[in-house]
Each structure stands twice: as structure tokens, then as C-alpha cells.
A and B are shown apart, each in its own frame.
Chain A
Amino acid sequence: MAQVSKTTNRNGEPIEMLLNMGPQHPSTHGVFRMVLWVDGEKIVDVEPHIGYLHRGSEKLCEGEQYNQVITLFDRMDYIANFNNEQIYCRAVEKLMGLEVSERSEYIRVILCELNRIASHMLFIATMGLDAGAMTPSMFCFRGRERIQGLFEAVSGARMMHNYFRFGGLKEDVPDDFVPQVRELLELVKADTDESDKLLSFNEIFLARLKGIAVMTAEDAIDYGLTGPCLRASGVDYDVRKAAPYSVYDRLDFDVPIGLDGDCWDRYYLRVQEIYQSIRIVEQALDQLPEGSVESSLGRRLLRPPAGEVYVRAENPRGEIGVYLISDGSDKPYRVKVRPPSFCNLSALKHMLKDCWIADCVVILGALDIVLGEVDR
């Protein structure tokens, strides 16, 4: 058995302790479980266990009509619902060759970027909690709450929106949408500033995060990291720039990158991404055209032509890909998701090498996994 080798430490002395962290542990971000072989406080080896939140989403997709699948995508990465809806809608649109109206594209981008901000705020909050600071979480939740209030006003739900439709949106945004978002952005900026000032450069926080779990650019690419975790290692790769979709090519924004590839870079990069997302939303609001958001499909039962597509997009957690096969019926033949959380999680074993038990919480936090997406 492979486990036999783990029962001795470097000096060949037996390791007495096998620590089971999760699935009911406060900082495994859901129901993730790690079996840690520890030598005192040092981690010798780790075996991650996933699947506690497995709902069979991909299989369920095969039994639902195309428009019903949107609700399942809402629940995959339940922190970034709009982004997930968008990627699925884009997949079906590509399959059918549907045109999406300008206005709905812009509204989609605005909502997705706001959702990215909300997701990163949740990340900062949990990062603070993992490191032991309580207050940033409250500051960030305040900002996230404001964004969710806007989502409620737009889509009728705070998290599981079911708002995007193939080729359009469910309904147009409320009349006061633009001023409301502008006001919201100011508040969100202030909230981010506040928690940034409180946490980012705090000496203790730096001591906990700087130089922990360093990933070189080569390692990061080898493990298939995407999103902020990859960019923290200094790789300038963002799907929004590399293969612009929707209207991202008309918007001017920077892709922040990290230098060291440690946990602090992964944290601070997300803080900077919040400011970039604010920039994107501001521009999109300026450019927001008038027009219809109606889908040209009507309400008839959707039967896309047989075929297969793969689309990818930049989610808050990294690159998400959806592979969709249609056999011409009213239900997808197969839906496969490339979830960023799951792929990022594969680097965990590498990152946890020779770190402390306390670090392992921080490292997992900096990966920013969502178990709904890992297990699907």
C-alpha cells in the first residue's frame, strides 16, 4: 500500500499522527476533506477527498430541457452564478448560431463583473477568517450584500438568478439600473478600500501569507491552474484578453499579475481585480446601448441542431469550459464542465509540501475553491 511509506518521516522515524481535516471543519470551505499525515505540526503528506457535495449536476443536465439546465448551472459555482449562466448560454447560442443583442451582452458583462466583485469579496472575507481576522469578513459581506441587493432588484433572486436566456435576457433591467449601479460602485470601492487598508499589509497577515505555497510559473502551468492562482505566479493569461468573448474586446482593463506566486500574491491579486472589475463596469455602463433584450427564440421548446461545442470564459475562480453535445432533441446529450476550482485543487498536494498545519488552512483559502463546483 502506498500509505505505508507515509507512516515514517524523513529520518525514518514512525509518524504517529494522521489528522483528518474535514468534511466538518470550519475552514475547508464547504465539505472538503483532507487526510493529513503530520509530523508534529509539520505536514508530511496529504490526501484530499472530494465528492461530499456531488449532486451529479452534469448527469442531471442530460435529463433537463435546455432552458431548465440554466438553473443547474446557477448551482454549480454558487458564488458566481451569473458567470456560470453566461457560459452555458453562450454554449447553446454558439450551438444554434444565435445572435445576442448588444444591450443584453452589455448587461450580461455588467452583471458578471459585479458577480466577480462579489465573489472576490467573499474570498477576502474567508481569507481573513482563515488567517484569524474577523472584521474584514464583515466589511466584505457588507459590500457583497449591496451587490446582491442589486441582483435581487434585477433578477428577482439574490443568488440563484435564472436570468440569462439564450440570445437575450429574461426581462430588461429596471429603469433606475444605471444610476443604481453607479452608486453601488462607489460604495463597493469604499468597502474594498476599507478591508484592503485593514488587512492587506498587516504585518501578521503578511507573515502568515508571504512566501507560503510558492508556485513557479512552470509548476502553475503544469498543474493546470487558471485564473488568479495562475496569474499570481506571473503568467499573463486571462481568457477575457486571450480569447475575448462577449464585449470584452471593447472594454479597457488591465490584468493584474503576481510576482512571487505565493499566497499573498493570490490574495492581493484578487483585491486588484476588484478594482479592474469596477473599471469594466463603469465603461460598460457608459457604452450601454438602448434596444431590446428579447430572445428571438420565443417560448417554443428548444431543439438545437445536432452538434457539439466547447466554449470557455473567465470565471472569478479561473477558466471555465463547457462542452456541450446535442443530438437534436430537446435535452442536451452530454454536458461536461471544466470547473476551475476542481483543476486548481489538483495543485493542493504540491502546495502543502512541508508546510504547517496552520498554513494548510490558508493555502486552501487562497485557492478559493467552491465545493459545489469541485464536486458538481
Chain B
Amino acid sequence: MPATILLTIALSDFIWIVVGLLVMFTTLSIVVLSLTWLERKVLGRLQLRLGPTRTGPMGLMQPVADALKLILKEDIIPASSDKAIFWAAPIIVVVSAFMIWVTIPGTQSAVIQNLNMGLFYIIAFSVVGILGLVLAGWGSANKYGTLGGLRAAAQLISYEIPIIMVAVSVAMLAQSLDLREIVSAQDEYIFLLVQPLGLVLFFIAGLAEVGRTPFDIYFAESEIVGGPFVEYSGAHWSVFFLAEYINTFAVAALTVILFFGGWSGPGLSGNWEIIWFLFKVYMVIMVIFWIRGTFPRLRIDQLMAFAWKVMVPMSFLSVVMTAVYQFYEWPAWSLTAMSSTALLVVGYLIYKRMTGSTRLVAQVRSRQEALQAQRKAAANAPAGGD
């Protein structure tokens, strides 16, 4: 008898997990479709274009049409590619992207499997995706692909460190690695208010982690024409695409959970709070699109320099600040002050270092004035024709 009961329990758990995964898969696919539509529409309006308009009202069916096209397209596999690696790479990338979502909660109860080491688990899995990119670059036997894969490895591993350190400082503030507890720790004030530096670091590193502009170095279209994905087509390529957008969504969701108080918001309770959560996540994603529409791309050495010379020290600083604040039990505003001061100082230093743009303008102007003065002084006679 007990054996059957145990079996029933195990089976029901198993069924629950399978159902949960299926729900997750469908939800995320719909989310990705919505994101592709949103990105094209937002970027279109930003650039004074219309974006998709033809398929369905306001082009709403465009992502569906795209997905259908990608699935029906011929899947070209280069003859010289390493077939096994070529096949495995997209699977690794997309599985790791989905695995992250197992533990990201939408509300207090809407989560497939909450882990009390949730944050740790997410960070651990986000590194696995890099392997897929490197393999994709290598396996497709293309030089652009290889360059892209290696760029991806360098970039993603560098930016993993600031992400970890900022996550640690948030975990210290919340005294937990459990995402649900991190959210409930923000009941009083959201962590954005005490750790603005952490937010900026996390957001920038997150952008780099998912390869959004200005950190889209590893598939930079104008340089290495798609990097690791250059040889992929059809369904294989769409898998990468799927993973990329799921990761973008995950970074936005983590930003919201760690710094914007997750699903907490006025007016809603219970599972309806997921509306607040989605609202905040989509707002963050809009900012990502906005940045994509504004900035050029960094160069790989500048990107690495930025990671190791700015991001890593600053993330350590944010951990130290949090630790000091926690150890001496200072009031919350002291951490806010420390954090925002550090942010402003770094921002100013970068501004100074990279441009001194006022200096540049002055330079340009004085150059012009000097030239004009020189011309007037010469008062040269008109030269002849041809």
C-alpha cells in the first residue's frame, strides 16, 4: 500500500512538473513573439518609421508569420561544419535559457520550482549558454563564427563577475538568495533607493550578458555579420533567436525582482500581482529597446577594458559598501548616499576621460576661428580658373 501511495505522489509531482514546464514553454514563446513585435514597433517609431503593418491589425501577426517562415525554411548545414557540435549548440543555448525560468517567480506562488538558492542557480545557469555560443561559432567552421564565439566567451565571462557581485550585495541586503524573499525584503523600500549603483551595474552587465546594444559585439552585424549565428538558418537560427529574447526577458525580470520590488504594487493582490510584475518587466525592456535605438557599438577591447577597469571594481565597491552598511547598522539613507556618490563620480570620470566633449567643441571652434583669421590675414587674391 505505502508503495502505491508513494508512487502516486511521485507521479503527481512528475505530472505537475511536466505541466509546469509546458506552461512555461508556451508562455515564454508567446512572450518572445510579443517582444519581437514590440521591438520592431518601438524601434520603428523611434526612427520615424511605421514598423510592421501588413500582417494582421498593426502587424500583430508579424511574429507568427516570421516564426512560420523560419520553421518552413530550408535548414542549411555547411558541409565543412562539425555536425554534432553544430546541432548541439542551439540546444545548449536554448535549454539554459529555459532553465533559468524554472525558478524565476512571477508572484509569490506563480513559480515552477522555487529554490532557496534561486539567485545562485540562475547565475550558474546563465554561464552555460556561453558554451553554446562558443560551440556554435566553432562548429559552423566559419571564421566570422569563430571570432564571434570567442568574443562571446570573453565578453560574457567578464560581465558575469559584476553580475555576481551585484547579486551578492542584493542578497546581503535581503539576507537571502531566495528570489521570493528578496522581493518581500523590499516591502519597506525597493532596493533601487538604497543601491542605485547596483542597479546601473546590474543593468549594464545584463545588457552585455544578453548581447544587446551597445554590447552586441559578438554578433555585430556590421563587423562579423552575425558572429556565431552566421551559418545558421531556418529552425536552428530561430532557436538562437528564441534564447536571445528569453534571456533579455530574464535580465529584465531579474532587474525588476532585485531592484524594483518584483510584483509588489498597489491595488492588486494574490496572483493578480503578476500584472504589476509584467508591467515593470516590459518597462525595463522598453528601456533596453530605447538604448538599442540610441547607442553605437563598443569595440571588443574597449568592452573588456570597461568590464575590468570600471564594472568589476565598482561592483566590488558596491559589495563593500553594503557590507559596511550592514555591519555598522547605519541608516538606510547612508547607503543611498554612498552608492549614488560612487555612481556620479564614475559617470563624471568616464565623461571626462572619453570626451571632455566641451573641450572637443571648443577645439573645433578655435580651429575654425584660427583658419578664418589666417585667411583674412592673407587676404589672398582670387586664384585663376581651371
Contacts and interface: CB of A to CB of B under 8 A. Distances in A.
Residue from B293, B364, B371 having most chain A Cβ neighbours under 10 A: B364
A142 B354 contact: no
Interface residues of B, number: 48
A242 B384 CA distance: 8
Given A138-B48, A142-B48, A358-B223, A17 B294 contact: no
Interface in A341-376: 356-359, 361
A132 B214 contact: yes
B357 A201 contact: yes
Contact of A135 (B47, B222, B382): B47
A358 B386 contact: no
A133 B12 CA distance: 52
Interface stretch (B24-32, B92-100, B272-280, B296-304): B296-304
Contact of A132 (B213, B364, B367): B213
Nearest to B151: A41
Interface string A187-205: 0000000000011011111
A256 interface: yes
Interface in A225-266: 236, 241-245, 249, 254-259
Interface string B348-386: 001100110100110110011001100000000011111
B358 to A, nearest CB: 9
B378 to A, nearest CB: 10
Contact of A205 (B143, B296, B364): B296
A160 B127 CA distance: 54
Interface residues of A, number: 53
B220 interface: yes
B168 interface: no
B224 interface: yes
A243 B381 CA distance: 11
B302 to A, nearest CB: 5
A134 B293 CA distance: 6
A129 interface: yes
Nearest to A199: B296
Given A203-B350, A206-B354, A245 B147 contact: no
Interface in A317-350: none
B181 interface: no
B330 interface: no
Given A41-B147, A254-B371, A131 B220 contact: no
Contact of A206 (B144, B216, B220, B355): B355
A139 B48 CA distance: 8
A268 B49 contact: no
B88 interface: no
Interface string B292-328: 1111111111100000000000000000000000000
Nearest to B43: A134
Contacts of A242: 383
Contact of A245 (B363, B372, B386): B386
A312 interface: yes
B174 to A, nearest CB: 34
Interface in A18-55: 19-20, 25-27, 41
Contacts of A6: none
Contact of B299 (A19, A199, A268, A358): A358
A244 B384 CA distance: 7
A236 B386 CA distance: 18
B224 to A, nearest CB: 7
B344 to A, nearest CB: 16
A256 B214 CA distance: 31
Nearest to B366: A259
A198 B294 contact: yes
Contacts of B223: 27, 357-358, 361
Contacts of B214: 132, 204
Contacts of A311: 386
A94 B298 contact: no
A178 interface: no
Contacts of A131: 222, 296-297
A130 interface: yes
Contacts of B382: 244, 249
Contacts of A236: 371
B383 to A, nearest CB: 6
B368 A203 contact: no
Contacts of B222: 26-27, 129-132, 361
A207 interface: yes
Contact of B225 (A26, A130, A245): A26
B385 A257 contact: no
A267 B351 CA distance: 20
B294 A25 contact: no
B385 A203 contact: no
Contacts of B216: 132
12 contacts: A27-B223, A94-B386, A132-B216, A132-B297, A133-B296, A134-B293, A138-B48, A243-B383, A254-B372, A259-B363, A312-B386, A361-B222
Given A132-B214, A133-B297, A243-B383, 10 more contacts: A41-B300, A131-B222, A198-B294, A202-B296, A204-B298, A206-B357, A208-B297, A243-B386, A257-B367, A357-B147
